Amino acid sequence: MGEIFTGMGEILAAFADGDSWMIRTAISTNAAWVLGLILMLSGGFIVMMIYRFVPFIERHLESYVMVISYLTIGGIIFFGVIQRFVPGMLGMDFSNTPAWLRPWPWTTTLPPFLFLVMTWVGCSYNVKLRTHLSFSEFRTNMPRLAQMFLLSVDAILWIGFSWVVVVTGTRIAVNAASNFQIVPGTNDLMQWWFILAVPLSFIFLVARAMENWRQDFNNFRSGDTIIEQAVIGGDT
């Protein structure tokens, strides 16, 4: 136990120093799992409180991130196609093609990182909508106590999955930062800026899991309907 607390202190000290190499070494120990669980649950609770007291953020945060990421990806790809084919159609060669019409090397490498952001923020959003792990058609025919038990298992599973992703995703982001990995085709756009979106998205997911469980428990105590049909693409 003493080693765990010592390791947690080393991780916090490394983050305070901002040295990616020290962070990489410190976070590779088992203490990262304990500290990761504490920070994940704390972060999830804080985000849940923000959702509770700022309804606009609760309703729009994930959807705005997804839409902006999607439109940015589409815009980059669309303009990249124009850069590759329009000059040739107009009979231009490289020497007389305007700089803005010359293909940018990052147009094929940046969209996958933006897709990474969109995907995992979208996962949190769908946990909010209960379109993951719902099984509502089967569960609505079960007794109320069994429904509440299974919903509690769902929350535990989501938190468990998120714990693994938060710790491992943070390690990958730290490794990318310590090796100064940049997005291919760019000069100073770091990969870890985008990879860090994965553990952050799963902290948002934990907040959604906590929020859902609190709502389910309140419905269970009050006698209201616990499980309702989830609609993919719907809203709550």
pLDDT at 45 over 90: yes
When pLDDT is cut at 50, 70 and 90, the band that residue 4 belongs to is: confident
Question: What pLDDT is recorded for position 135?
Answer: 72
Question: What pLDDT is recorded for position 5?
Answer: 83
When pLDDT is cut at 50, 70 and 90, the band that residue 230 belongs to is: low
When pLDDT is cut at 50, 70 and 90, the band that residue 52 belongs to is: very high
Question: What pLDDT is recorded for position 96?
Answer: 64
DSSP letter at 95 equals G
Compute the mean pLDDT over every residue in the chain, rounded to the nearest whole number. Answer: 87
Distance CA 130, CA 139 (A): 13
pLDDT at 20 over 60: yes
Distance CA 8, CA 6 (A): 5
Q: Is 182 strand, coil or helix? A: strand
Find out whether 72 and 48 touch, Cβ atoms under 8 Å: no
Question: What pLDDT is recorded for position 141?
Answer: 83
When pLDDT is cut at 50, 70 and 90, the band that residue 235 belongs to is: low
Question: What pLDDT is recorded for position 6?
Answer: 87
Question: What pLDDT is recorded for position 95?
Answer: 62
Question: What pLDDT is recorded for position 138?
Answer: 79
Distance CA 108, CA 112 (A): 8
Distance CA 6, CA 120 (A): 32
Q: Which residues pair with 190 in a beta bridge?
A: 182
pLDDT at 234 over 60: no
DSSP letter at 96 equals G
Distance CA 219, CA 231 (A): 20
Question: What pLDDT is recorded for position 197?
Answer: 94
From residue 57, alpha-carbon distances to 28, 47, 78, 150 in Å are 34, 10, 30, 28
Question: What pLDDT is recorded for position 105?
Answer: 83
Q: ∠ at Cα 195 (190, 196), nearest 5°?
A: 100
pLDDT at 98 over 80: no
